[in-house]
Amino acid sequence: MTVVQGKSASIARRSLLSAGLAGGFVLAFHLPVRAFNEPVQPPDETAGKLAPNAFIRIDQSGKITLVMPQVEMGQGVYTSLPMILAEELDADFSQVTLEHAPPSDKLYGNPVFGVQATGNSNSVRAWWKPLRVAGASVRAMLLQAAARQWQVDPASCVTSNSEVMHQSGRRLSYGALALAASSEVPPKDVPLKDPKDFVLIGKPLKRLDTPDKVNGKVVYGIDAMLPGLKFATLRKCPVFDGKVARVDDSAARKISGVRTIVVLDDLVAVVGDHTWAAMKGLDALVIDWDEGPNAGVSSAEIWRDLRAASESDGAVAKSVGDIKKGLASGDRLELAYELPFLAHATMEPVNATVHLKSDSCEIWTGTQVMTRVQSEAAKAAGLPIEKVIVNNHLLGGGFGRKLEADMVVAAVRIAKHVDGPVKVIWTREEDIRHDIYRPVYRDTIAATLSGGKIVGWKYRVSGSSVMARWFPAGFAKGVDIDGVDSAIDIPYEIPNLQVEFLRAEPRAVPTGFWRGVGPNNNVFAIESFMDELARKAGKDPIDFRRSMLASRPRFLGALNLVAEKSNWGEPLPARVGRGVCLQPSFASFIATVVEAEVDEFGEINLRRITSAVDTGIAVNPDTVAAQLQGGLIFGLTAALYGEITIEKGRVQQSNFNDYRMLRIDQTPRIDVHVIKSGETPGGIGETGATAGPPALRNAIYAATGIPLRRLPIDRALIAEGRKA
Amino acid sequence: MATTLTINGERKSFDAPSDMPLLWVLRDLLGMTGTKYGCGIAQCGACTVHVDGKPVRSCMLTVGAVRDRPVTTIEGIGATPNGAKVQKAWLDLEVIQCGYCQSGQIMSATALLNTIPNPDDADIDAAMAGNICRCGTYVRIRAAIKQAVFGRQS
């Protein structure tokens, strides 16, 4: 299906209202929004008037339009959210039309974040209840309208497939009822379906966004085409925060198709008749940079700083029992785990198209943060927010990169020097060298064992606080709530436990969210350490975990299922091992086993991956399986290859030749077992990324006895055969 | 200078320097945006098109080097029997996530079936290893190529 472009807030409101007046109807209602902080923009003109969150439009032709508050970046929400709405609406799912929501925190703010943002694997979790209520309310209004028209008891009517039916056999389509229903009063406390009556939720329905993705019709932000469009590409100072000193553009100006050379304080852009002219022009520029104070920054220095910082006490995020007593006796083990900087490398390189006029700014892009883009663009353009129109698109991958607005701000600044619309595409090299990186982390865990169980556990996360910059309310009293997310939700019963966060910002390197966010780091450290503890206790890794899960049935269920399905315990050839990971992340309960072979040179051959997933009600179980399959590849790519390193203030990697990705010839069989559950849905989009690295690390440990404590996997260390 | 190419069976004329990669001709001059830019150095396969039936990386193939050979892109591949089979299998097995790399994946898979009608796992790996998918859809790509061969109904 083709996704229709939503309008910006004020226009959308007008069109929603006029649609209502013209004979369709729009459901308006309030959500119980839990705002962590002040809105990022002033209230829009709907404040105090309609102030709705509007998700459903039905016109008299029967066309049902569902407005998507979250963005689609591959994770399947443009199918799962419509399924939730259509389930309670009793709409004919094959006939729904989707529309990208315009920017508006008021109308489309994520109920968990309080702002319009897609992240933290929470689209289904956050919207589960509100969208069910939205669908059920509209259904009730349509049903009431039909009953009124027929002068019958509403209880004698039912709904199905976009129709209201009476027991007499009379029926009316939703389209025929749209006008009448718009004057019905939305019910209070509308009843929701009993899950046993679901006809859509729980079924592996076909995705709504994929038919246009097999034939080139889909339009991503990078595909925006406008009359008179110019094409640009840019280069920022290779050293973080460096400035432009001098530009010699004499050669660039001679290149056919080059139109404008834009020199700003921190970047240079070339604008041309096509992207090729812009790229050639950029390469022909001779740029002297003022590298500034970061010209000496290196990974070695950043790691030296982080290791030193991590020796101090952190802010306590969680405390259970008596940690001093817990660590005072028993067999003690204390280890540190380290994770590198990572780039996102979305397949669609960072880009934005901007048409800046004296009194307005229109933007075409694919973003995870509509209102942030709108407000940042307004600042850069020097215009009021309502003069900035943002047209969102399907995203060619997000992974957290598009939770940032830097690419839009850069494009607006460039657009100030261009007459008409300009599309600014970053080359892959710029995309890798000027990402906002997953931070380096150092995790230190001290634990004691007694009788084969953990009695004391002190876990300190040291690293950047992304929250402190991105969502200040998420960094309070020294604790980054994302940074310790899966550390405070540790699956295991531990009587004495302390979790600390120590904020240590790396010099020069900007840090941001990356698929798997805080849990990615927590789960790697916890699950790697669990295997080292199991070995110290002389126990099988799964038996060791199981012994501390008696009161945690959902974890135990996932772990037992993965043990069975992965043939855990069955003999393997030499240098082949199985590794397990159990994780509490994003309100899903997931156990994963990776089976891998390690050769004498330290090369890894992935043989098989098995996951058991309890995510509560799986709205679309096929999407759940797909997210695990893909997320595991994403995480294993990082474990096997992912590392951004800094030398002389510059990122050393540049493209897929030196920032490698896992490919199909390295991909093993992956089996995902989705556990039937009636619990509230959990998150799923990031879980595979979190599961892969520790499970692989533990498989290597099982195969070789070599305990890796850093990522990416160090083949030289394995080849040396150094054991603990 | 004016150049004419046959793309998806249609004659298309445009002005472009002969060293301009076919990718940017398709996208920026002809508005055929189904073919994607991913890396610019033939490392990711997102820009794969067929020239004379063979899969090529259009980000590094200059328009001058195409000469008079016919070009097929994702917009036209569905008109070929193997292209249609691959597209159907991709949807039947719900291969796609973000989809940005999938134009290239589908072009590579179709080219594979055009040369090896019944590929085994090693053939699939060899033909598809040049196409990166950041969403990690490889397991389903492999299954969908097999399904396209056997034409099983979903």
CB contact (8 A) between residue B100 and residue A347: yes
Question: What pLDDT does residue A106 have?
Answer: 86
3-state secondary structure A114-125: CCCCCCCCCHHH
Mean pLDDT score, A507-517? 98
**pLDDT at residue A412 tops 80:** yes
Chain B partners of A225 at a C-beta cutoff of 8 Å? 31, 33
Report d(CA A31, CA A18) in Å as an integer: 23
A222-292+350-425: what CATH class? alpha beta
Query: Are A9-213 and A300-341+437-720 the same fold in CATH?
Result: yes
Question: What pLDDT does residue B154 have?
Answer: 42
H helix or E strand, kind and range, residue A458: strand A453-463
**pLDDT at residue A377 tops 80:** yes
In this structure, of A93-97, A416-420, B3-7, the range with the lowest mean pLDDT score is: A93-97
Residues B74, B35 contacting (CB under 8 angstroms): yes
H helix or E strand, kind and range, residue A700: helix A687-704
Contacts of A341 (CB under 8 A, 6+ apart): A299, A437, A438, A439, A440, A506, A509, A643, A644, A645, A646
Nearest chain B Cα distance for residue A298, angstroms = 26
Whether the link from the prior residue into A82 is cis, omega within 30° of 0, is no
The dihedrals phi and psi of B27, each to the nearest 5 degrees, come to -75, -50
When pLDDT is cut at 50, 70 and 90, the band that residue A15 belongs to is very low
**A722 close to B (CB below 8 A):** no
- Average pLDDT, rounded, for chain A: 92
What is the percent of chain A where pLDDT is above 70? 92
Question: What pLDDT does residue A233 have?
Answer: 98
Q: How many CB atoms lie within 10 A of CB A265?
A: 9
Mean pLDDT score, A377-406? 98
Please give the C-alpha separations between residue A662 and each of A431, A605, A635, B100, B134, in angstroms, as whole numbers.
19, 12, 10, 17, 9
Chain B partners of A395 at a C-beta cutoff of 8 Å? 98
**pLDDT at residue B151 tops 80:** no
Question: What pLDDT does residue A19 have?
Answer: 33
The interface predicted TM-score (ipTM) is 0.97
Question: What pLDDT does residue A5 have?
Answer: 58
Chain B partners of A226 at a C-beta cutoff of 8 Å? none
Chain B partners of A220 at a C-beta cutoff of 8 Å? 100
In chain A, what are the domain boundaries? Answer: 9-213, 222-292+350-425, 300-341+437-720
Residues B14, B30 contacting (CB under 8 angstroms): yes
Q: What is the pLDDT of residues A240-268, one digit of tens each?
A: 999 999 999 999 999 999 999 999 999 99
The dihedrals phi and psi of A256, each to the nearest 5 degrees, come to -60, 130
Residues A696, A689 contacting (CB under 8 angstroms): no
**A211 close to B (CB below 8 A):** yes
Residue with tokens 């880009």: A351
Q: What is the pLDDT of residues A176-225, one digit of tens each?
A: 999 888 888 888 899 999 999 999 999 999 999 999 999 999 999 999 99
**pLDDT at residue A88 tops 70:** yes
- Average pLDDT, rounded, for chain B: 96
Report d(CA B22, CA B65) in Å as an integer: 9
**pLDDT at residue A50 tops 70:** no
Question: What pLDDT does residue A113 have?
Answer: 87
Mean pLDDT score, A70-78? 97
CB contact (8 A) between residue B100 and residue A346: yes
Nearest chain B Cα distance for residue A630, angstroms = 4
Residue type at position A441: Y
Cα torsion through A419, A424, A430, A433, rounded to 10: 100
CB contact (8 A) between residue B135 and residue A630: yes
H helix or E strand, kind and range, residue A522: helix A517-537
Contacts of A363 (CB under 8 A, 6+ apart): A352, A353, A354, A373, A374, A377, A388, A389, A390, A391, A408, A411, A412
Which domains does chain B carry? 2-76 (3.10.20.30), 77-150 (1.10.150.120)
Nearest chain A Cα distance for residue B141, angstroms = 9
CB contact (8 A) between residue B37 and residue A219: no
Token couple for A394: 């399907």
Task: Tell me the residue length of chain A.
Answer: 724
Q: What is the pLDDT of residues A449-503, one digit of tens each?
A: 999 999 999 999 999 999 999 999 999 999 999 999 999 999 999 999 999 999 9
A693 burial level (CB within 10 Å; 0-12, 13-18, 19+): buried
Among B21, B99, B139, beta carbon nearest to A218: B99
The alpha carbon of A619 is separated from its chain's Cα centroid by a whole number of angstroms, namely 18
Among B32, B37, B136, beta carbon nearest to A634: B136
**pLDDT at residue A21 tops 90:** no
Under DSSP, is residue A347 helix (H, G, I), strand (E, B) or coil? coil
H helix or E strand, kind and range, residue A60: none
Question: What pLDDT does residue A29 have?
Answer: 31
When pLDDT is cut at 50, 70 and 90, the band that residue A722 belongs to is low
**pLDDT at residue A602 tops 50:** yes
In this structure, of A58-72, A516-530, A539-553, A659-673, the range with the lowest mean pLDDT score is: A58-72
Question: What pLDDT does residue A24 have?
Answer: 43
In this structure, of A33-37, A108-112, A507-511, B107-111, the range with the lowest mean pLDDT score is: A33-37
**Which neighbouring-strand residues pair with B71?**
B7, B51
Residue with tokens 């669990």: A530
Among B20, B41, B101, beta carbon nearest to A276: B20
Question: What pLDDT does residue A12 have?
Answer: 36
When pLDDT is cut at 50, 70 and 90, the band that residue A607 belongs to is very high
The alpha carbon of B36 is separated from its chain's Cα centroid by a whole number of angstroms, namely 10
E strand spans, A148-248: 157-160, 163-166, 171-173, 230-236, 243-248
- Please give the model's pTM, rounded to 2 decimal places: 0.94
CATH architecture of A300-341+437-720: 2-Layer Sandwich (3.30)
In this structure, of A167-181, A340-354, A648-662, the range with the lowest mean pLDDT score is: A167-181
- What fold does the segment set A9-213 form as a domain? Aldehyde Oxidoreductase; domain 4 (3.30.365)
